[in-house]
Amino acid sequence: MSYFRYIDNGKGPTKLFIGGVHGDEGKDVLPLIKLLSYEDFSPGQIYIYNFDKTPYISTIHREFYESEQGKKILDLVDYYKPDFYTELHSYNIKHFKSLTSLKRLDNDGIPPLIDCGQYVLCSSVSPLIRRKHFTKETICQTLEFPTFRWEDLKLSEDELFAKYDYSHDLSVREYMSFLRLITLSKTRADFEDRVLRDYKKQADLALKYVKIIYGLDFPRY
């Protein structure tokens, strides 16, 4: 069943979180969303949606935003006009290299995802919607949690550690640590300070990629 949570924390930024953007990612990110407690949120209006399984279409393809699910998400964005917009995704750990590779720029014209540690990835949102549905002031973020498919599903925690140097607990900690930067930030400037303090290397990369995609006069988040 789809999940929705609204937190009325009074005056402050509007924050929209979307899990289960496409495919069956909702089942991977819902347990993470549920780790957020009331104390994790800044003042403001907070809306969290997590969707059930829908057909998988990549958000870098226009067909996604023409699909029922894509339209639903854009309707929410246009309705709430959030100051912070966050997509909570999951990905197959086997795709770590290709998702973080600069080849994405050459092949698809989209920036690579950025490694935040423990296989957690971050980036802005799809270039197809960044300019059209948000202002420059909006903080747009995508977070990706590693998951396993195919033969990896049979492996134990120890075997996964041996094969990928992956620890579920450490990945959860990293994902939540980045997510809390977003949930706790009171303003755009506050978010920028927190990212520069905890994720300087990632912030530098985000700036590099945004310059390539959007030009000099565009914010990195």
Burial of 84 (0-12, 13-18, 19+ CB in 10 A): buried
Give the shortest CB-163-to-Zn ion separation in angstroms: 23
Q: Which stretch binds Zn ion (CB under 5 A): 26-34, 60-68, 84-92, 210-218?
A: 84-92
Indicate which single residue of 13, 16, 85, 89 sits in contact with Zn ion (rule: CB under 5 A): 89
Choose the binding region for Zn ion from 2-10, 87-95, 99-107, 132-140 (rule: CB under 5 A). Answer: 87-95
Shortest reach from residue 136's CB to Zn ion, in Å: 24
Is 64 an interacting residue with respect to Zn ion (CB under 5 A)? Answer: no
Taking CB under 5 A as the binding criterion, the range among 86-94, 126-134, 153-161, 170-178 that sits at the site for Zn ion is 86-94
Which 3-state string (H, E, C) describes 95-163? HHHHHCCCHHHHHHCCCCCEEEECCEEEECCCHHHHHHHCCCCCEEEEEEEEECCHHHHHCCHHHHHHH
Whether 191 and 185 have beta carbons less than 8 Å apart is answered as yes
Q: Which CB, 15 or 89, lies closer to Zn ion?
A: 89
| Contact yes or no for 89/41 (Cβ under 8 A) | no
Nearest approach in angstroms of CB 22 to Zn ion is 5
